[in-house]
């Protein structure tokens, strides 16, 4: 059973392991420019983490005209990935 769908730009590829999904998002997709500070960040989980961890919710909402639901959805994604994923493995695989 595949549980994790990529979802970037309609990509419907699915993965059994969340680690595989995050590595795929960060390595197979182009980097995206942060709408708040202009930094180039890997797409998917890392892009969400960047914008929520490095910027205030207000800055994020202003830059993306995000609804409270959109913010909450991203917070849920972060929480889910961080609960389920071995982030050390992901970083090692991306750096390796």
Among 34, 47, 85, 90, binds Zn ion (CB under 5 A): 34
Angle CA(32)–CA(57)–CA(29) in degrees, nearest 5? 15
Report if residue 40 touches Zn ion, rule: CB under 5 A.
no
Report if residue 20 touches Zn ion, rule: CB under 5 A.
no
Instruction: Identify which range of 9-17, 62-70, 74-82, 85-93 contacts Zn ion by CB under 5 A.
Output: 9-17
What tokens were used for 65? 């005209």
Residue with tokens 């991306």: 94
Residue 17 CB, nearest approach to Zn ion (Å): 14
Shorter beta-carbon distance to Zn ion: residue 37 or 87: 37
Residue 35 CB, nearest approach to Zn ion (Å): 8
Q: Is residue 2 a contact partner of residue 16, using CB atoms and an 8 Å limit?
A: yes
Q: Is residue 29 a contact partner of residue 48, using CB atoms and an 8 Å limit?
A: no
């Amino acid at each position: 059973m595949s549980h994790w769908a990529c979802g970037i730009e309609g990509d419907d590829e699915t993965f059994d392991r969340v680690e595989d999904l995050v590595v795929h998002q960060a390595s197979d997709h182009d980097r995206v420019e942060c709408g708040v500070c202009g930094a180039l960040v890997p797409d998917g989980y890392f892009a969400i983490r960047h914008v929520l961890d490095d910027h205030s919710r207000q800055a994020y909402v202003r830059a993306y005209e995000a609804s409270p639901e959109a913010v909450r959805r991203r917070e849920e994604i972060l929480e889910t990935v961080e609960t389920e994923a071995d982030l050390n493995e992901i970083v090692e695989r991306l750096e390796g």
